[in-house]
A = this chain, B = another copy of it.
Amino acid sequence: MAAWDVDKGFQNSTGPDVNPDLDTERKTASFSVERLTNILDGGAENTQIRRKVNAVLQSDPEFSRENQYFHSQNERYEGAVRRSLYLSKKMDEMGWTADGPEQKYCYRALGDDLAFSVHNVFMKSILGLGTDKQIAKWIPLAEKHYIAGTYAQTELGHGTYLRGLETTATFDVTTQEFILNTPKISAMKWWPGDLGRTATHAVVFAQLYIKGKCYGIHPFVMQIRSLQDHSPAPGVTVGDIGPKMNFAQTDNGYLMLRNVRIPKESMLSRFSQILPDGQYIKQGSEKINYLTMVVVRVYLIRTEILTILMKACTIAVRYSVVRRQSELKPGGPESKILDYQTQQQKLLPQVATAYAFHFLCDYLQEVFDRGYAETKEGKFDLLPELHALASGMKVIASDFSSAGVEVCRRACGGHGYSLLSGLPSLFTKVVASCTYEGENTVLLLQTARFLVKCLGAVKVGQPLPSSVAYLSSTSSGKCGAQEKRDFLNPDVYTAAYKQRAFRMVRNAAIKIHSLIQSGTPQHEAWNLCSVQLARSAMAHSHYIVVQNFVNALEKFEKEFHIQRVLKHLCDLFALHGIVSNMGDFLKTGHLSGKQSDMVTESYLDLLALVRPDAVPLVDAFDFSDANLNSAIGCYDGHAYERLFEWAKKSPTNNQQDNQTFEKYLKPLFRNALSKL
């Protein structure tokens, strides 16, 4: 990108030259960026594959993200459908299979612009819940997109609380059919993706009734729109729920059913079936299927949450060395804003958080692979722990990442408010993860329930699963740190986190117990402690993330430079967490007031220590400019030039679209002509 010339303006938009303010930052990296990228990818080979996939997709104009920020909801949707179908062809062409390594990199590159995400859930639910015959019928059609499916569970009035779903499926013995109904407005299916404008079929969850008796929630696969003209099937009302904070490319929909009759074979019957006389038979264990749902939460941490945080960090850090504002030294040149301590304190902990979650994902993958294998063999003992772990980790990842992306956005000042920076859409997308796949507060309370149970188990001498084993230790020692550098010792800070979590869980449990003792009904006692329970589940989750980051450092013992920079980030993540939640650590007396000052000083020192590596650390995430789609975060650092280039293309600058002057302004301005 050539320098901007006052007379010739802005010459060419791509070129090898990099803004010197950004270039300098790359020359002083304390570690090999390429090596860190390989680590993040899980090996150099993966880096290669990822880059190849990225290159192939980016060289294809069909996948261009240019002008995306100007598109309407309709345009985004149409583009997503077009691209998704084209991608299927492209993958065939390239020989990339659905279970090959390339697929996830396609998603990394194009995820925001694809449709059919819930179509995939439709298929997974048939595979998980259907009989072999049902799988044979539906899957081949769905795989080729000859039908489009959706997963219709959530209702207008019911999200997380599945038992409360109100849609009914009544078995009619005489006709051997189910009659599906939306008995009231709150029972309307609402939110399913791909439902609004795409799906021809749906897996619908409904309360099963046989001869007046309710058997609970069951899945039914049914046609909802014509394959010929896409008109709604008889008795079906279906449409799009309209604009959302993000996800314009996704057609979230509504579905209302009025006496819709579907054949007996429509119930997905791997785990329960109905005999012709209406007899209901339960069979097998759904637990493996339940684990699949839990695994979704783990999967989305990396694909839907962490990637976004990494992108936001990349944009904000690069912009913060290109942006100069005010003087640090009176009379000196204007300073890079990343040289201000306040800016470092905003951004660097987010970079550290991104690395913390990366290693968390590695750990969770391991744990859940093991859990899946065991569960498949019929051992279900791990399930409660895995559920609690997945819930807690989904919450902390979505909560911290949403906050972190917003910090990055605001740290870019006014330009962070422009859609062209890419940051607003990163925020509006990631923040959805606090709500979907289990609302965060609800999930925290589920984790808390498990933790309280574990404390109970300890009392009666039962052993605890590994991720919560620390709850059985009773050590209550005070922190032994004597000076600020002691807080760079992982043993010191992990002990502090452990103490904090243990105390908070225990205190909540004690409070419940004493309320019950004094006559409060159990459910009321639980509610009266729920704020503290939720916080204690968060403290527990926080401890796990810190401890895991510390453990991960060990893997790099032979790579001094990598280990050193990761250790700084681990320390920074841990101390930032202490400083931000200081009350919890002080309250129990684990830290003294004096020690809290030491932590703060040690934390501030770390900012200065990490600062020189800030750009290399985000470069290592290795997003291409197209991945980032940000006018201010590109690799070459020409933020202002690109903002101007992109703004000029905005439809608001299209004179044909601007009738406002002719219609409203011209008649008024005419009056000034004679006076000026």
Contacts and interface: CB of A to CB of B under 8 A. Distances in A.
A161 B334 contact: yes
B188 A527 contact: no
Given A523-B329, A586-B583, A589-B593, A78 B185 contact: no
Contact of A583 (B4, B185, B581): B581
Contacts of A428: 424, 428
A410 B424 contact: no
A441 B341 CA distance: 11
B326 A254 contact: no
A383 interface: no
A248 to B, nearest CB: 9
A586 B596 CA distance: 10
A420 B6 contact: no
A182 B198 CA distance: 50
A419 B78 contact: no
Contact of A77 (B74, B148, B434, B660): B660
A326 B188 CA distance: 18
Given A69-B243, A414-B191, A596-B587, A342 B419 contact: no
A178 to B, nearest CB: 17
A90 to B, nearest CB: 15
Given A159-B325, A341-B528, A659-B78, A647 B240 contact: yes
A556 B659 CA distance: 54
A326 B676 CA distance: 69
Contact of A657 (B74, B158, B188, B653): B74
A157 interface: yes
Most chain B CB inside 10 Å of its own CB: which residue of A70, A254, A326, A647:
A647
Interface string A407-424: 000100110111110001
Contacts of A653: 196, 239-240, 242
A219 to B, nearest CB: 19
Contacts of A416: 435
Interface in A636-674: 640-641, 643-644, 646-653, 657-661, 663-666, 668-673
Most chain B CB inside 10 Å of its own CB: which residue of A77, A198, A650:
A650
A345 B673 contact: no
Contacts of A328: 523-524, 527
Nearest to A164: B334
Given A191-B414, A227-B670, A647 B6 contact: no
B244 A418 contact: yes
A154 interface: yes
Given A184-B6, A586-B587, A342 B156 contact: no
A200 interface: yes
A243 B672 contact: no
A223 interface: yes
A584 to B, nearest CB: 7
Interface string A346-383: 10000000000000000000000000000000000000
A604 B528 contact: yes
A436 interface: yes
A183 interface: yes
A499 to B, nearest CB: 13
Contacts of A58: none
A587 B197 CA distance: 57
Nearest to A181: B6
A414 B193 CA distance: 13
Given A85-B668, A589-B593, 18 more contacts: A6-B181, A6-B258, A82-B664, A147-B669, A159-B414, A161-B326, A242-B419, A242-B420, A242-B649, A243-B650, A245-B418, A330-B523, A342-B445, A342-B534, A343-B441, A413-B439, A417-B435, A582-B587
20 contacts: A70-B242, A72-B72, A73-B652, A81-B664, A85-B668, A160-B325, A161-B326, A164-B325, A164-B326, A188-B644, A196-B652, A223-B676, A227-B672, A241-B420, A242-B652, A242-B653, A244-B418, A329-B524, A582-B584, A582-B587
